[in-house]
A and B are shown apart, each in its own frame.
Chain A
């Protein structure tokens, strides 16, 4: 086992390198899969990128880990991430930032940055990530691989260390759409231990036929803050889909104006409750037993949580507090319903929505100085989480030598259609 930048892991893609063997042969036999470090692995340290879970060894496997091991996968380790998934660059890891394989001075994106770097550099053929507000799609876009945020309720979250339950999903990442689709097929098997899961397994249909498919282009996805060169690259990619027989439809998504604020109020509120469990008592670094409990817990949490985690707990506690609940959390839930209604309205006329995954290409490590500017980078990915709809990022070329992702979003439980369109694009540009 190793940690940090080593000759075996120069990109710091992994927090723990470990070989977890398969349990039975299957469709993933001979395939290495890297697993994000907020997904529980029995007997192998699971830190969530946080010092507060340093040394925590789960006594059980997440459902998705069970599934891939039973299908023959060899797990190659636990990947680096922003602490508890809180970040868009993997710079907020308690174990140092991950480096982008395309340019090691740049971020991988986040929070599943280690998973993306492992796949893009060939250290693993596939990876599991998690996506609360773009954490699979952002690093997939920045590292030039494919990443799917499945429909909410399509993959069991049993064994995922919770950050914002109403938003997050585990999903597949791989270099090709076919690999990503295969991993999705394996992990979507029903699990009654996640009460939000529905028994609607993903059944891939990758024929690449998108003739007659209606694809909406919301103007807001090319709005303020989107790098014109990225917008241009993505418009060209959408042109490829048109060339393959899709019908493009210009449309509008007015709720985009407040989607990001709704997202950050919601995720910090949920985080402030979820992360209350980390106090060092049942696992993790021990509190000072001689001190009163508030004082003892504050000490442990201040010492072992990074600043972004503490900031989000602070914001969430505030947003839920008496006197402010209606102004922030209540309003955010109204905004969230508007986002859902926007998607429902658009999906009456179109089959998919297309746009950039990220407004820019990967930035330099250390290049974003304040938390708000980092939050703003999530503007194009958070709407899908607010509505629970499936969205994939598929590589669509480069800008200034750095990868750009095309984001395709579909109706709930139509992950198959989203992946088929991504497949059509991938094969279309290859041909």
Chain B
């Protein structure tokens, strides 16, 4: 069983925020889903998934990119070619 406190902590880690009234139903559904995932304990031992494709590398060449003005125009607050963000400190 995952407790409400644990759900709250994961929500913090994931930066999704969680309201007080949401916490009980989120915790209930979360536990129901984890209960279902317990079927994975019955998976026979074996190796993990092997993607049958190799890593693809390309030459590091400059190619045309998106117009800077158009991309900056999507941001709510762009200044001098930069994008404003909330404070980190």
Contacts and interface: CB of A to CB of B under 8 A. Distances in A.
Interface centre among A57, A192, A276, A289 (most CB of B within 10 A): A289
A264 B37 contact: yes
B16 interface: yes
Nearest to B89: A292
Contact of A314 (B14, B66, B67): B14
Contacts of B15: 276, 279, 294, 297-298, 301
Given A56-B74, A331-B41, A333-B48, A314 B30 contact: yes
A6 interface: no
Contact of B40 (A261, A299, A313): A261
Contact of B83 (A57, A166, A281, A296): A281
B11 A261 contact: no
Interface residues of A, number: 68
A371 B67 CA distance: 42
A318 B11 CA distance: 9
A195 B53 CA distance: 10
Contacts of B85: 281, 287, 289, 293
Interface string B1-42: 010000100111111111100100010011011001101111
A138 interface: no
B62 interface: no
Interface residues of B, number: 50
Interface string A185-205: 000000010011010000000
Contact of B43 (A192, A317, A334, A370): A334
Interface in A307-339: 307, 310-311, 313-315, 317-318, 321, 327-328, 330-338
Contacts of A290: 86-87
Contact of A330 (B42, B48, B70): B48
A333 B46 CA distance: 9
A59 B88 contact: no
A89 B13 CA distance: 29
18 contacts: A281-B76, A282-B83, A289-B77, A289-B84, A291-B86, A293-B85, A295-B86, A297-B86, A298-B17, A305-B16, A311-B29, A313-B14, A314-B11, A314-B16, A317-B10, A334-B49, A340-B49, A371-B29
